[in-house]
Amino acid sequence: MSIQRIKPGTRMSQAVVFGDMVYLSGQVGNAGENPAEQTKTILAKVDELLAAAGTSKSNVLKAEIWLSSMQYFGEMNAVWDAWIDPVNPPARATGESKLATSDFYVEIMITAAKI
């Protein structure tokens, strides 16, 4: 079984496919965007990476969401709820954590199946 690396860089790949599993690295938005805009940007990246891996949001198994402050929970959820496939919601965890820089409010990591 081979390993496929999508958008590899010197430090990490944006996604890794092994067998029927797809693992996305933590995705962040753009500096200057508010939490809702960052979430939209992130989910657009997730859609792109899942498509490159041969799958879609309907096959997301697990999402790990980190917020720089839980005060952004409602804003993030409004965008998330509009994006996620309501017939196939994944397992999900959301927590508060200091992110890489103070410009980031949301980071999302995804694990999906290729079926």
State how far the Cα of 27 lies from the Cα of 105, in Å rounded to an integer.
11
84, HSE (Cβ side, Cα atoms, 13 Å): 20
Q: Are 46 and 80 in contact (CB under 8 A)?
A: no
- pLDDT for position 9: 96
- pLDDT for position 29: 98
The whole-number average pLDDT for the span 80-91 is 97
Both tokens assigned to 88: 């196939």
83, HSE (Cβ side, Cα atoms, 13 Å): 22
- In the predicted model, is pLDDT for residue 11 greater than 90? yes
- pLDDT for position 1: 81
pTM: 0.96
36, HSE (Cβ side, Cα atoms, 13 Å): 6
Both tokens assigned to 61: 């198994």
